[in-house]
């Protein structure tokens, strides 16, 4: 029997699959690719939130399975955190064409699905990957006053109240940054250490 959480997450998957209202839906059909809903433990203590799927992700229907995903895997391995113990998703569930940043309308259209994923999985920590998800999650949880450049607050822990209890929001650099700025890797490795204490 699927758990209640699994059932609710399936509903989200089905709704996104039929999201014809999205301009990215047409791109998905045209390119014969998939939406990327999220994957991992439905009872995860830690949820990672990226921005939007890239080419590899849309082809496979899985988050962070391309070059940035390799970096994320390395960062998880550095703290001996198995990928299947966390939940990984994005704000936007379809790939924007030409790898452009999602636009405000796209964020607004898909964010309610992320909000529901958060309420279903009820993570104790939301680790944002990159500035877009940092901004969305911090605003959502009333942390807007602390929202400054990611270079100032990466790896810091912010306490917030979710509908289901107290959580920590931790802004992290997007793993893709390490692909063009090798020197950022050391900061990322250091930042990931803070996640260790939230292991189930
Ligand atoms: N970048 C993201 O923000 N999300 C992915 O799933 C892959 C790359």
pLDDT for res 91: 98
Q: Which residues pair with 171 in a beta bridge?
A: 128
Asked whether 50 and 89 are in contact (CB, 8 A), the reply is: yes
This prediction's pTM: 0.97
Task: Give the neighbor-by-neighbor strand order of the sheet with 46-50.
Answer: 39-40, 87-90, 46-50, 125-129, 165-172, 158-162
Measured CA to CA, the distance from residue 122 to residue 167 in angstroms comes to 9
pLDDT at residue 3 tops 90: no
Ligand 1: residue of 39, 174, 175, 177 to mutate (most ligand atoms within 8 A of CB) is 174
Residue 30 sits in a domain whose CATH number is 3.40.470.10
**What's the 68 CA to ligand 1 centre distance in angstroms?**
7
- Based on the structure, what is the number of domains in the chain? 1
Asked whether 79 and 121 are in contact (CB, 8 A), the reply is: no
> Across all residues in the chain, what is the average pLDDT?
97
Q: For residue 130, what are the domain limits?
A: 4-198
Measured CA to CA, the distance from residue 90 to residue 111 in angstroms comes to 9
Ligand 1: residue of 47, 52, 62, 106 to mutate (most ligand atoms within 8 A of CB) is 52
pLDDT for res 200: 75
Calculate the CA 113 to chain-centre distance.
Answer: 12
- How many CB atoms neighbour CB 195 within 10 A? 23
- Picking from 51, 60, 58, the residue whose alpha carbon sits closest to that of residue 27 is 58
**What's the 1 CA to ligand 1 centre distance in angstroms?**
31
Q: Is the CB of 113 under 6 A from ligand 1?
A: no
Asked whether 56 and 65 are in contact (CB, 8 A), the reply is: yes
Q: Is the CB of 53 under 6 A from ligand 1?
A: yes
Q: Are β-strands 87-90 and 46-50 bridged in parallel, bridged antiparallel, or unpaired?
A: parallel
- pLDDT more than 90, % of the chain: 97
Q: Is the CB of 50 under 6 A from ligand 1?
A: yes
pLDDT at residue 94 tops 90: yes
Ligand 1: residue of 67, 106, 129, 136 to mutate (most ligand atoms within 8 A of CB) is 129
Calculate the CA 195 to chain-centre distance.
Answer: 15
Q: Which residues pair with 182 in a beta bridge?
A: none
Q: Is the CB of 94 under 6 A from ligand 1?
A: no
């Amino acid at each position: 029997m699927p758990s209640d959480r699994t059932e609710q997450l399936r509903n989200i998957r089905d709704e996104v699959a039929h999201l014809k209202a999205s301009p990215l839906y047409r791109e998905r059909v045209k390119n014969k690719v998939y939406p990327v809903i999220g994957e991992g433990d439905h009872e995860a203590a830690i949820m990672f939130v990226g921005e939007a799927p890239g080419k590899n992700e849309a082809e496979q229907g899985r988050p962070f399975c391309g070059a940035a995903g390799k970096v994320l895997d390395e960062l998880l391995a550095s703290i001996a955190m198995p990928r299947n113990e966390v939940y990984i998703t994005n704000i936007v569930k379809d790939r924007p064409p030409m790898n452009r940043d999602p636009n405000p309308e796209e964020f607004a259209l898909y964010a309610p699905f992320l909000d529901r994923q958060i309420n279903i999985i009820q993570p104790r920590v939301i680790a944002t990957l990159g500035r877009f998800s940092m901004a969305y999650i911090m605003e959502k949880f009333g942390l807007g006053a602390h929202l400054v450049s990611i270079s100032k607050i990466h790896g810091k822990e912010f306490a917030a109240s979710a509908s289901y209890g107290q959580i920590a929001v931790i802004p992290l650099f997007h793993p893709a940054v390490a692909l063009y700025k090798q020197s950022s890797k050391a900061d990322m490795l250091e930042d990931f250490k803070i996640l260790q204490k939230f292991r189930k």
